[in-house]
C-alpha cells in the first residue's frame, strides 16, 4: 500500500506495507536493555487477595502492572522538559509525526578514554537544511545493543560542537542508538542536550531527542520518511516507536 506525503512543497511516495521499525521493545526480564544504574523493568500480574491477574492462574483476563523508567529502559523520546526547571510535556510539544529523515552511520573518534561523535565526523555526512530529523547509528553496530547493560559503560556521545552543528543545520528531531547524547558521567553538564535545544537562551521547545533506538545493519544509510510515534504520557519523556519508510 503506497501513500503520498506532501511536505514543504515536495511530495514523497512511501510504501506503508514496508515499515522499518527502529525501536527497542520493553520487556520485564533481564533481556531488556538498561541504563542509569537501574534494574530491568517489571511486568507482573495484579494481585489482590486470592485474585491473580493471569489467565493461566484462573483469571478471566491478563491484567499486568508495568514498572519502568522511560529514560533507562528502552526507546524513548524526550523534550526540553528533561533538563528545564519548568515542566514541559512531550505529549504537548510533539504534535506532528511524519518528518523527512536522514540515517547516517558514524564510527566515533577515540579521544582519551572516550568515544566521541565529533563535529568533523558529522560535517562529512550531511549539510544545512538537508533534513528535519537525523538518525545516528554508531559503529560497530551489533544485535546485542538490544539487550545491553549500559550502566558504567562510558557509551559514545556527542561533543558540544557536534550538537550545535546539528542545531544549526535546522534538524529538529535527533535520534541516536545510545542511552544519551551526552557522556554518561559528565557531572551534570549535559552539554549536548543544551546545545541541541539551545537551552536556556533561545530554547527550541519544538525539538526532540530520541535515544536507545536500534537500527539493523540491513537498513541502509540514506534518506527516509520518519514516523515518530509516542505514547501519550504527560511527562518530559515517553516510550516511543520511530518507524522509517523508504522513499520510492
CATH number at residue 188: 3.50.30.50
Whole-model pTM over 0.85: yes
* Phi, psi of 165, deg, nearest 5: -60, -40
Q: Which is it for strands 222-230 and 2-7: parallel, antiparallel or unpaired?
A: unpaired
> What are the strands, taking DSSP E only, across 79-198?
98-106, 109-111, 114-117, 133-138, 157-158, 173-176
> pLDDT by residue (tens digit) across 124-160?
999 999 999 999 999 999 999 999 999 999 999 999 9
Rounded CA-CA distance 213/104 in Å is: 13
The answer to whether residue 173 is domain-embedded is yes
When pLDDT is averaged across residues 195-202 and rounded to a whole number, the result is 97
- Integer angstrom CA distances of residue 46 from 26, 70, 73, 201, 247: 18, 21, 21, 46, 45
Determine if the peptide bond prior to 200 is cis (ω within 30°): yes
The answer to whether residue 31 is domain-embedded is no
> What is the pLDDT confidence band of residue 3, given thresholds at 50, 70 and 90?
confident
- Integer angstrom CA distances of residue 124 from 25, 127, 132, 137: 32, 8, 18, 15
The answer to whether residue 57 is domain-embedded is no
> Residue 177: is its pLDDT beyond 80?
yes
Q: Quick count: other Cβ atoms within 10 Å of Cβ 199?
A: 18
The answer to whether residue 99 is domain-embedded is yes
For Cα atoms 222, 227, 233, give the angle at the middle one, nearest 5 degrees: 135
Rounded CA-CA distance 80/60 in Å is: 42
Give the residue from 24, 29, 54, 25 showing the smallest Cα distance to 42: 29
> Residue 117: is its pLDDT beyond 90?
yes
When pLDDT is averaged across residues 152-174 and rounded to a whole number, the result is 98
How many domains are there within the chain? 1
> What is the pLDDT confidence band of residue 8, given thresholds at 50, 70 and 90?
confident
> pLDDT by residue (tens digit) across 51-77?
999 999 999 999 999 999 999 999 999
The answer to whether residue 174 is domain-embedded is yes
Give the residue from 54, 48, 94 showing the smallest Cα distance to 228: 94
When pLDDT is averaged across residues 161-183 and rounded to a whole number, the result is 98
Q: Which is it for strands 237-246 and 76-78: parallel, antiparallel or unpaired?
A: antiparallel
The per-residue pLDDT of the chain, averaged, comes to 97
* Structural domain boundaries enclosing 214: 2-25+70-246
The answer to whether residue 96 is domain-embedded is yes
The answer to whether residue 93 is domain-embedded is yes
Which ranges of the chain does DSSP label H, i.e. alpha helix? 90-93, 119-123, 160-168, 191-197
> pLDDT by residue (tens digit) across 31-57?
999 999 999 999 999 999 999 999 999
Percent of the chain residues topping a pLDDT of 70: 100
The answer to whether residue 34 is domain-embedded is no
Amino acid at each position: 500500500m503506497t501513500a503520498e506525503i506532501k511536505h514543504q512543497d515536495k511530495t514523497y511516495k512511501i510504501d506503508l506495507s514496508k515499515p522499518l521499525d527502529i525501536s527497542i521493545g520493553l520487556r520485564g526480564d533481564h533481556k531488556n536493555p538498561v541504563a542509569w544504574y537501574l534494574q530491568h523493568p517489571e511486568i507482573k500480574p495484579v494481585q489482590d487477595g486470592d485474585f491473580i491477574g493471569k489467565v493461566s492462574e484462573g483469571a478471566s483476563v491478563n491484567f499486568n502492572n508495568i514498572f519502568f523508567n522511560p529514560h533507562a529502559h528502552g526507546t524513548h523520546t524526550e523534550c526540553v522538559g528533561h533538563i528545564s526547571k519548568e515542566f514541559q510535556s512531550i505529549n504537548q510539544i510533539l504534535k506532528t509525526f511524519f518528518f523527512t529523515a536522514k540515517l547516517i552511520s558514524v564510527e566515533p573518534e577515540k579521544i582519551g578514554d572516550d568515544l566521541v561523535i565529533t563535529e568533523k565526523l558529522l560535517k562529512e555526512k550531511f549539510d544545512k537544511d538537508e533534513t528535519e530529523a537525523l538518525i545516528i547509528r554508531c559503529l560497530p553496530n551489533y544485535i546485542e545493543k538490544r539487550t545491553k547493560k549500559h550502566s558504567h559503560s562510558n557509551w559514545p556521545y556527542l561533543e558540544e560542537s557536534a550538537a550545535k552543528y546539528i542545531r544549526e543545520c535546522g534538524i529538529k528531531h535527533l535520534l541516536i542508538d545510545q542511552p544519551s547524547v551526552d557522556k554518561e558521567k559528565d557531572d551534570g553538564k549535559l552539554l549536548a542536550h543544551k546545545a541541541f535545544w539551545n537551552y536556556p537562551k533561545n530554547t527550541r521547545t519544538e525539538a526532540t531527542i530520541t535515544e536507545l533506538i536500534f537500527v539493523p545493519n540491513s537498513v541502509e544509510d540514506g534518506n527516509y520518511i520518519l514516523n515518530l510515534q509516542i505514547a501519550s504520557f504527560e511527562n518530559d519523556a515517553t516510550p516511543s516507536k520511530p518507524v522509517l519508510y523508504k522513499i520510492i
